Structure 1
Amino acid sequence: MQTCPRCDQTKRQNKAGKTQSGSQRYRCMHCGCKYTPERKQHGYSDDVRKQALQLYVDGMNLRRIGRHLGIHHRTVSLWVKASAASLPEVPVPKEVKTAEMDELFTFIGNKKTGSTSSRS
Structure 2
Amino acid sequence: MQDLLSQMPQREKIKAGFSKGRERYKCKDCGCNYTVELKSTAKPESMKKQVLRLYLEYSGFCSIGRLPGVSNVSVLNRIRKYGKEAGTLHLESIGTERAEADEMHTYAGSKNCCRIWIAVDGHGKRFLDFVSGSCVSSITVPETVFVCA
Structure 2 match to 1:46: 45
| AA aligned opposite 2:33 | Y
Q: Partners of 2:33 and 2:76 in 1: how far apart?
A: 34
RMSD over equivalenced CA pairs, Å: 3.6
Q: Tell me how many residue pairs correspond in the alignment.
A: 83
Q: Partners of 1:83 and 1:18 in 2: how far apart?
A: 35
Identity among equivalent positions (%) equals 15
Moved runs in structure 1, 4+ residues, more than 6 A?
Answer: none
Equivalent pair of 1:23/1:39 in contact (CA under 8 Å): no
Structure 1 match to 2:80: 81
Structure 2 match to 1:24: 25
Equivalent pair of 2:15/2:23 in contact (CA under 8 Å): no
Q: Partners of 1:22 and 1:61 in 2: how far apart?
A: 33
Equivalent pair of 1:63/1:73 in contact (CA under 8 Å): yes
**Superposition deviation, residue 70 in structure 1:** 0.9
Structure 2 match to 1:57: 56
1:36 to 1:84, Cα distance in 2 relative to 1, 3 A: same
Specify which of 84, 92, 106 is matched with residue 132 of structure 2. Answer: 106
Q: Partners of 2:78 and 2:57 in 1: how far apart?
A: 15
| AA aligned opposite 1:45 | P
Structure 2: give runs of 5+ residues left out of the alignment.
Answer: 3-12, 93-98, 102-116, 118-129, 134-149
1:55 to 1:92, Cα distance in 2 relative to 1, 3 A: closer
CA distances 1:70-95 after superposition (whole Å, capped 9, x unpaired): 111100001000000111322244xx
Q: Partners of 2:91 and 2:63 in 1: how far apart?
A: 33
Q: Secondary structure at the match of 1:25?
A: strand
Q: Secondary structure at the match of 2:132?
A: coil
Equivalent pair of 2:17/2:23 in contact (CA under 8 Å): yes
Q: Partners of 2:70 and 2:132 in 1: how far apart?
A: 38
More strand by share: 2
For normalisation by structure 1, the TM-score amounts to 0.52
Structure 1 match to 2:34: 36
Q: Secondary structure at the match of 2:26?
A: strand
